[in-house]
A and B are shown apart, each in its own frame.
Chain A
């Protein structure tokens, strides 16, 4: 079982739709949590860090449930430019500080 699991998708949604991505992590020693966005053939870019209290940045809302070892990302009013692959990532406590990524969920927003 992979340490970070995501639904691979693809998610094909119309513009304006709300879409939710889920991610689970298996190592309870994970201490930091992130959502990254990766465009085709590019490096990942940090979308947001995820905190237990939940956090919001414009149309994007991230939630962390430590008890269930579950992370979510909600995108409201999706835009064409949101089309990308969304990667969930964690950093394990006591590690060298490297990110452990999920496989990513591909999102296609259609007009």
Chain B
């Protein structure tokens, strides 16, 4: 069965609105979750690392005030795209490292965001 759920799977919104994406660990507790973004015909790029109980660490070029991450519990991390614009349209995927083997990553099914 699925180890990671992600919700919503698809969202279409108007420019200027905020969108919240949830990533849930279903099988084990996760102190760390990763958020990736994939533009069409591009590779998955790490946006930020979500850390339970502390601030997320963001990759260079990713605005922390625009992409708000909250890892409030050991099974849930949320990514909020604030004041979304068409250039934020992308495929957002979360992953978490395995409980026993951290090199094994479990991916959520992804969220396709389209900003009109």
Residues of A at the B interface (CB closer than 8 Å) are 2, 4, 32, 34, 41-46, 49, 87, 91, 96-104
Q: Check if B103 is an interface residue, CB within 8 A of chain A.
A: yes
Q: Roughly how many angstroms separate A97 CA and B108 CA in the complex, as a whole number? A: 17
**SS class, residues of chain B in contact with chain A:** strand
Residues of B bordering A, CB below 8 Å: 32, 34, 41-46, 49, 57, 91, 93, 95, 97, 102-105, 107-110, 112
CA distance A34 to B34 in the complex (A): 17
Q: Which 4 A-B pairs have the closest CB atoms?
A: A43-B107, A101-B43, A103-B43, A101-B44
| Majority secondary structure of chain A interface residues (helix, strand, loop or mixed) | loop
The distance in angstroms between the C-alpha atoms of A98 and B79, with both chains bound, is: 17
Cα distance, A98 to B58, chains bound together (Å)? 12
Cα A99 to Cα B95 with chains together (Å): 10
Contact of A43 among B34, B43, B93, B102 (CB under 8 A): B93
Chain B minimum-CB-distance residue to A91: B103
In the assembled complex, which residues on chain A have CB atoms less than 8 Å from the CB atom of B97? 97
